[in-house]
Amino acid sequence: MAYGSVKVDQIITSTQTITVDDIPSGGAGTITNAQLAGSIPDSKLNTISTAGKVSGAAITSGTIAGSTALSTSGNLATTGSLAVGLSSVSTNVDLDVTGSYASNKVTMGNAAVDCSTGNYFCHTASSNTSYSFTNVPASGRAYAFTLEVYHTGGTLSWPASVKWPDDTAPTLATSKTHLFFFVTDDNGSRWRGVAAVDYTD
C-alpha cells in the first residue's frame, strides 16, 4: 500500500467531468459559500423547524400556509389586504375580519391621552382637569378614541382643537361616569367630539 499525494486537475467519471478546483472545501456538516452560489432547487430543501433560522427579509413573495402562528415583536406591514378568520379578502376592503376583536384598555394616571398607546382610555377626575391629546397619527390618517371618565369632582376642560356639536361642550354632573368619543384626520389640528354622559355606576 502506498501513501502520499497525487495532484490532479480533473476527475472524469462515466457521466461528468469534475474540475478539482471547483470542489469547495469545508468541514464535515458544513456548507460553504461556494456551495450556495446560484439557486437551490426546492427538492433540495427540507422543512426549517428551528426558530430564528429564516429572517423576515428572506421572505419576499408567495404564501405562508399552515397552522403555525406568527409571533413577532416587530411590525407587520403589507401593501396588500389582510383577512382574519377567513381564507380570502372580500371585495373593496383592505382588512376583512370574521369574528370578534378586542383592544387594550389604557388606564391613565394623568390627563394626557397618549394616542400611540390605544383607542380606549379610562381616567378618574376628582378635581379640575384639563385634558390633552398627544402622539396623534399623521395628517391624512383617520384616528378615533373613546375616553371613559369616572367623574368624582371638579370640572373638565378640553383642548381648543376639540369641536363639539353647536360648539358647546356637554354639561356634566359629578359622581357620574361619562363617555367621550373623538375623531381626527389631520394630526389633531381639529378633533370632533361627541359625548354620552351622566351614567350612574
Residue ranges covered by each domain of the chain: 106-199
Cell of 92: 373593496
pLDDT mean over 82-105: 88
Residue 81's pLDDT band (cuts 50, 70, 90): confident
pLDDT at 13: 82
Closest CA to 139 of 187, 196, 85: 187
Please determine, for residue 4, whether its predicted confidence score (pLDDT) is greater than 70: no
Please determine, for residue 163, whether its predicted confidence score (pLDDT) is greater than 70: yes
pLDDT at 12: 82
Chain centroid to CA 153: how far? Answer: 38
pLDDT mean over 2-14: 73
pLDDT at 42: 67
Q: Using one digit for the tens of pLDDT, what is the confidence trace for 32-66? A: 666 666 666 766 666 666 666 666 666 666 666 66
pLDDT mean over 168-173: 97
Residue 67's pLDDT band (cuts 50, 70, 90): confident
Please determine, for residue 124, whether its predicted confidence score (pLDDT) is greater than 90: yes
pLDDT at 36: 63
Stated length of the chain: 201
pLDDT at 7: 73
pLDDT at 2: 62
CA–CA separation, 88 and 105 (whole Å): 30
CA–CA separation, 149 and 122 (whole Å): 6
Please determine, for residue 71, whether its predicted confidence score (pLDDT) is greater than 80: no
pLDDT mean over 77-99: 86
Any bridge partners for residue 21, and if so which?
none
pLDDT at 130: 98
Average predicted confidence (pLDDT) for the chain: 85
